[in-house]
Amino acid sequence: MKIAGESPTVFQPALAAIRFGTGRSPLHPDPEAPAAMLAALAAPDAAAGAFPVSPVEDVLHWVEPMRELQRAGRGADAQRLELLREIRKAERPYEAANLAAVLARGIGAGDGFRDRLTLFWADHFATAGRGPFLRNRVDSYVDAAIRPHVAGRFEDLLKAAVLHPVMLKYLDQTSSIGPESRVAQKGGRGGLNENLGREVLELHTLGVGGSYGQQDVRQMAELLAGVTMTDELETVFRQARAEPGAEHVLGFSSNARRDRMWDVEQALTYLARHPDTAAHLSRKLAVHFLSDAPPDDLVTAMTTRYRETGGDLAQVYAAMLDHPASWDPTLHKIRRPVDFVMASLRGLGADPRALVTMAEETPQRIYGRFMQPMRFMGQDWNEPEAPNGWPEEAAAWVSATALSERLKWALRVTELPGVPQDADPVRLAEAGLGALLPEEVRFAAGAAETRREGIALVLVSPAFQRR
Amino acid sequence: MAMTMTDPLRRAGLDRRAFLRGFTGCCLAASPLLTPMTLASAPSENRLVVIVLRGAMDGLDVLRPVGDPAYAALRPGLASGAEALPLDGFYALHPGLTDLLPLWQAGQLGFAHAVSTPYRDKRSHFEGQDILEAGLPAMTGQGARDSGWLNRLAGLMPGATARTTFDIGREPDLILRGPAPASTWYPQPQPGLSSQARRLADMVFHEDPLFRDQAAAMFDLAEEEAGGTDRSQPQHLQVADYLAAQLAAETRLAAFSITGWDTHGGQKVALKRPLKELSETILRLRQQLGPVWDRTAILALTEFGRTARENGSGGTDHGTGGAMLMAGGAVRGGRVFADWPGLEEASLYDRRDLQPTRDVRALAAGAIRTLYGTAAGDLEARVFPGLDMAGTPQIVL
């Protein structure tokens, strides 16, 4: 680790591409300045248009046939199982196509800052697809609820993510019923499920160190009781499931007479603007982009900006990019598997459209060449082990077994479509690392006996794994 | 220019032994060049395996206190259906663990109930698991995440090498993180490199200590891989087979995880898979370990228990007190260690959770003291800082 003041801590283009983007590219120039990164973020999202992710609505045509079989009762059990299998079979290619689009966006991006922010916030609001209709739809959720809001106000991002059907299903909100609600009174069935209420406070807003207690978790869950989704996968509020009376979550109180969904949104806005949320999110961003132990004054500057602007995320990023710690030349973090595969293909100058074609023609190869290897590298795409998402610590990603998976993938990367036929280890080293290329990596790239091994050695080198 | 180009390669080639030493520890006792005789006099013949049950296992469902008068009313749905297996008149075993019943009868399966870590109130999986694995009263303070208790125990074992301690899983677990050397493994075949590329890889990894150590371990594993495990079986059985082979050789401490315990809804169905994995893993270890089974203690720990009442989704929410399962020829099985607090509402923690009456760390510490002769002072100051072991029952040997 370098001593503060020993090295220049001013903006460096190569560092900007590696630390805040999807990596360096032989086809796209590095960002010129923080202002250019923020301007690109404010501009329309061209990559999303070029590589569309299919929406959740695409599964709706399965809903009616399923409902009919459910009405038919037990007699139709066999047909129902058959339909479930059919849905599963039809949906898997969509999941493959959506991952291909996500990777293609990062590979072909101008600077990739928006892609990295999307990955960060998708991880902050981590979900896995549950149930036959939503199982393969996490990327659709991220595309609709997360990506459009990454440069906006946090309260809008929070509402979009927490109230999305994929999240409601993942954190059991769809089965939460107020214990004193009309539904519970009438049928005696149902009860509160605290899962979503708890994670909103613990993970999404205040943070586990925040100033809330079990009582707030309970009240938040009671406030949310009634939020659920329709058979048509739309978020709604069902008054009959609502817990009567006012709820109090920290300093927020609902008004029992008002529209309850409005109250839920007010509570989320209150939580989004809470000082504990400002501090929690600022630290988390700094930990993700810079180092597991970011300097206190950086976190303070970001927290202050968050509070001054009411959670304007672009402003918070600006505060981060303005701080000298953002340009510390020592690389503290490790590229996660998804960043690693994106940066590898980007550094090789691969054509992102080839991935989309691969997904259309042979979706099972997206599973075999990306999803499966990423799983063994430690990142089971769209199936995080828990709602707190992926670990941040460098040591969590660099085990002997995970490293061996990265090496195995890197040894076969030149077989992937879109990778130029004349891909060359030395050119990859220079394009991928630029001014940050260490001498031993340049040497190994040139000294390897085969192109394949030379490219793999560059990609698994610590200099390329770190960011 | 020629100098700077050849230098790192030569340096890496010459220092290969030094990397390995860096990986396996600092001193002569840890060198891979040691004679087998020295190794034989290493730590102990006893084995400790920790299974981390991630997601918060419902202790009240797995080990049901059917003799408590309040139990049936709290669990109307969960207690119905397939019959629980009576153990001692008060407790009954979840039907998903039926295959383990012979172990109970042989005194090789036991439990502790109404136990927990010192973690209270926030009921976060992630903080709860961190506290369980770090072995600390709280995660505040610098360095709380730097090491886990099993790693600190390994550091106290005379003559421990990297093979003494094994972490099995896709990600390194906090329980084994820390300064003492440890090995990792996950059921996947290793990559092949030409010898030239192999030498270049040493050079590329050399400057970065984190990568250097893990790469050395990766290449060591690749060398010994060939033909070891049967990859056609489910992963948890591959893990059990591999672990049994390590325990029969040099390994004395090991940890791995079984997930799937976070049963907020549909718990009857949701618990089937994790219980099956737990049960099959234990039985496979017994089968493969042969005589070593008698020197083995398996402790299955979870971050906290779940609510005493079942919720509206046929599941349970995050709670406090729960159960620990132990198995192996070295455990004092056929009994449940518990100071039972009762389940009537006034006895519950926060009027919702099973009240913990014992720190699960004390039980683990007591087992370690007996298995390895570790001094109580070391256990209370270094392995589990701040722990008071007074009055801990003897759960092994």
Rounded to the nearest angstrom, the minimum Cα separation between B363 and chain A is 28
Q: Which of B177, B204, B350 sits opposite A214 (nearest CB)?
A: B350
Q: Give the model's pLDDT for residue A323.
A: 96
A126 and chain B: CB distance < 8 Å anywhere? no
E-state strands within chain B: 47-54, 63-64, 85-86, 92-93, 109-116, 165-168, 183-185, 253-259, 296-302, 322-327, 336-337, 358-359
Does A277 contact B at CB distance below 8 Å?
no
pLDDT-derived band at B193 (thresholds 50, 70, 90) equals confident
- pLDDT for the residue B224: 65
Q: Which helix (H) or strand (E) holds A82?
A: helix A77-108
The pLDDT > 90 percentage for chain A reads 88
Read off the pLDDT of residues B100-128 as tens digits, 9 standing for 90 and up. 999 999 999 999 999 999 999 999 888 89
**In chain A, positions 320-379, which contact chain B (CB-CB < 8 Å)?**
376, 378
CA distance B151 to chain A (A): 15
Q: Give chain A positions within 8 Å (CB) of B199.
A: none
Whole-number pLDDT of residue B34: 31
Per-residue confidence at B6, pLDDT binned at 50, 70, 90? very low
Alpha helices, DSSP H only, in A195-251? 195-199, 214-224
Q: Residue B189: is its pLDDT beyond 70? A: no
Q: Which pLDDT belongs to residue B140?
A: 82
pLDDT confidence of residue B38? 33
Q: Provide the angle, in degrees to the nearest 10, between the axes of the packed helices A260-272 and A214-224.
A: 140
Question: Is the pLDDT at B40 greater than 60, yes or no?
Answer: no
* Interchain proximity B317–A195, CB inside 8 Å: yes
Mean pLDDT to the nearest integer, B201-215: 92
Give the closest-approach CA distance of A373 to chain B in angstroms: 11
B301 pLDDT above the threshold of 90: yes
For range B175-196, the mean pLDDT? 79
Interface check for A385 against chain B (CB to CB < 8 A): the answer is yes
Region B73-84 average pLDDT:
91
Say how far apart CA A10 and CA A18 lie, in whole Å: 15
Determine which of B75, B170, B306 to mutate to test the interface with A (most A C-beta atoms within 10 Å).
B170
According to DSSP, the residues that pair with B166 across neighbouring strands are B183, B254
CA distance B150 to B54: 17
| Distance in Å, alpha carbon of B328 to nearest chain A alpha carbon | 28
More confident residue, B220 or B134: B134
Least confident of A183-197, A300-314, B332-346, B350-364: A183-197
Per-residue pLDDT of A419-445, as tens digits, reads: 998 889 999 999 999 999 999 999 999
Strand partners, B300: B51, B325
Residues in chain B within 8 Å Cβ distance of A467: none
Q: How many other CB atoms are there within 10 angstroms of residue A334's CB atom? A: 23
Residues 197-236 of A with CB under 8 A from B: 198, 202, 208, 213-214, 217
Find the range with the poorest average confidence among A287-301, B13-27, B47-61: B13-27
Identify the pLDDT of residue A167.
Answer: 98
pLDDT value for B170: 64
Among the residues of B25-87, which ranges form H helices?
36-40, 59-62, 71-74
The amino acid sitting at B199 is: R
* B214–chain A nearest CA distance, Å: 5
pLDDT of residue B199: 86
Domain positions in chain B: 34-187+229-383
Task: Give the chain B residue whose CA is nearest to the CA of A380.
Answer: B170
Per-residue DSSP letters for A429-456?
HHHHHGGG--HHHHHHHHH-SSHHHHHH
Report the pLDDT value the prediction gives residue B15, as an integer from 0 to 100. 35
Please give the pLDDT value at position B2. Answer: 32
Which of the two residues, B10 and B230, has the higher pLDDT score?
B230
* Mutation for B interface: A407, A452, A466, most B CBs within 10 A: A407
- Within 10 Å of residue A49's Cβ, how many Cβ atoms? 9
For the four alpha carbons of B161, B166, B170 and B174, in that order, the dihedral sign comes to: negative
Please state at what angle helix B209-225 crosses helix A400-411, rounded to 10 degrees: 80
Evaluate if pTM is beyond 0.80: no
Q: What is the mean pLDDT of residues B47-65?
A: 96
Complex confidence, ipTM? 0.86
pLDDT band at B30 (very low <50, low <70, confident <90, very high): very low
Residue A138 has a pLDDT of: 97
CATH topology of domain B34-187+229-383: Alkaline Phosphatase, subunit A (3.40.720)
Q: How far is B307 from B304, CA to CA, in rounded Å?
A: 10
pLDDT above 80 (res B68): yes
> Residue B293 phi/psi, 5° resolution?
-55, -35
Q: Which residue of B has its CA nearest to A394?
A: B210
Check residue B259 and give its pLDDT.
86
Among all residues of chain A, which has the CA nearest to that of B171? A396
Task: Tell whether the torsion through CA atoms of A306, A309, A315 and A320 is positive or negative.
Answer: negative
Pairwise CB contact (< 8 Å): B5 & A448? no
Residue A410 pLDDT: 96
CA count, 13 A, side-chain hemisphere, A114: 28
Better-scored residue on pLDDT, A319 or B234: A319
Nearest CA in chain B to A448: B197
Alpha carbon distance B187, A357 (integer Å): 32
Mean pLDDT of A281-303: 97
From CA B31, how far away is CA B24, in angstroms rounded? 7
Question: At residue A1, does pLDDT exceed 60?
Answer: no
pLDDT value of position A449: 77
pLDDT, position A188:
65
Average the pLDDT over A116-127 and give the result.
98
CB contact under 8 Å between A184 and B312, yes or no, is yes
- CB contact under 8 Å between B171 and A184, yes or no, is no
User: CA angle A48-A142-A292, nearest 5°?
Assistant: 105
CB contact under 8 A, B218 and A407: yes
- Whole-number pLDDT of residue B57: 97
Locus of tokens 């940890």: B255
Are A172 and B313 in contact (CB < 8 Å)? Answer: yes
The answer to whether A461 contacts chain B (CB < 8 Å) is yes
Contact B177, B148 (CB under 8 A): yes
Q: How far apart are CA A162 and CA A141, in angstroms?
A: 11
Separation of alpha carbons A105 and A115, rounded Å: 7
Task: Give me the mean pLDDT over the A299-324 stretch.
Answer: 98
Cβ-based contacts under 8 A for chains A and B: 166
Domain segments of chain A: what residues? 169-272
Contacts of A214 in chain B (CB under 8 A): 121-123, 350
Q: Which candidate from A190, A399, A456 shows the least CB-CB separation from B312?
A: A190
> Which of B183, B184, B200 lies at the smallest CB-CB distance from A444?
B200
pLDDT tens, residue by residue, A371-430: 999 999 999 999 998 899 999 998 889 988 899 999 999 999 988 999 998 889 999 999
Residues of chain A with pLDDT > 70: what percent?
A: 98
- Closest C-alpha to A40, from A52, A53, A30, A51: A30
Over residues B339-360, mean pLDDT:
97
Of the candidates B167, B144, B152, B175, the residue with the CA atom closest to the CA atom of residue B303: B175
Task: Give the three-state DSSP class for A404.
Answer: helix
Residues of chain B with Cβ-Cβ distance to A393 below 8 Å are 145
Q: Return residues 395-414 of A near B (CB < 8 Å).
A: 395-405, 407-408, 411
How confident is residue B32, by pLDDT bands cut at 50, 70 and 90? Answer: very low
Has residue B229 got a pLDDT over 60?
Answer: no
What pLDDT shows up at residue B231?
Answer: 66
Q: With contacts defined as CB-CB under 8 Å, which chain A residues touch B183?
A: 400
Q: pLDDT tens digits, residue range A74-97?
A: 888 899 999 999 999 999 999 999
Highest mean pLDDT out of B142-151, B190-199, B285-294 = B285-294
Mean pLDDT is lowest, of A230-239, B216-225, B264-273, B337-346, for: B216-225
Collect all residues of chain B within an 8 Å Cβ-Cβ radius of residue A391: 171
Verify whether the Cβ–Cβ distance B317 to A193 is below 8 Å: yes
Query: What CA–CA distance (Å, rounded) separates A393 from A326?
Result: 18
Whether B264 has a pLDDT exceeding 60, the answer reads yes
Has residue A274 got a pLDDT over 90? yes
- Report whether pLDDT(B31) > 50: no
Distance, in angstroms, between B89 CA and closest chain A CA? 32
At residue A45 the predicted structure's pLDDT band, cuts being 50, 70 and 90, is very high
Q: Look over chain A and give the mean of its residue pLDDT values, rounded to a whole number.
A: 94
Contact A404 B188 (CB under 8 A): yes
pLDDT number for residue A186: 87
Instruction: Find tokens 């439990």 and name the residue.
Output: B111
Cα→Cα distances A188→A179, A180, A337, B203, Å? 9, 10, 47, 68
CA of B214: which chain A residue's CA is closest?
A400
What residues of B are in contact with residue A448 (Cβ under 8 Å)? 196-197, 200
